[in-house]
Amino acid sequence: MHFGQILSGAVKSEDAAAVGQAVRYLAWCWGQRAADEQFVYFVEYVLRHLLERSADKAAFCAVADSGTFATLLGVYANFHDKREVDELEREFRLRPKPNKSCMDSSGK
């Protein structure tokens, strides 16, 4: 199993903590690109695997918190034009919000 599959699995299982950790690792890899060009190819491959389909983007946006999303977007912007970056940001802003009608009267 490669890293892209692990990250996709975390998204599919809606494990926000695992997604956050994986995105931080991906950002670390991007930071190492000056030391070894292979990091660039690795990050590009993982991003493509994670976000290549609309359904994949929607699933990631639904599970990622704002910090995780901002970290990923910072890396994503290096591989995509402004239109695609804006589209991903819009997807995140419009993602389904938690259903607050299920909260009890104390707000929990």
Q: What percentage of the chain exceeds 70 in pLDDT?
A: 88
Domain range list for the chain: 3-95
Per-residue pLDDT at 1 exceeds 60: no
Predicted local confidence at residue 3, as pLDDT = 82
Residue 78's nearest CA partner among 56, 38, 55, 47 is 47
Predicted local confidence at residue 92, as pLDDT = 94
What CA–CA distance (Å, rounded) separates 42 from 87?
Answer: 23
The pLDDT of 49-66, averaged and rounded, is: 90
In the block, residue with structure tokens 């599919």: 12
Instruction: Give SS3 for 70.
Output: helix
Predicted local confidence at residue 27, as pLDDT = 94
What is the model's pTM? Answer: 0.81
Q: Please say whether the dihedral angle defined by the alpha carbons of residues 70, 80, 46 and 9, taken in this order, is positive or negative.
A: positive
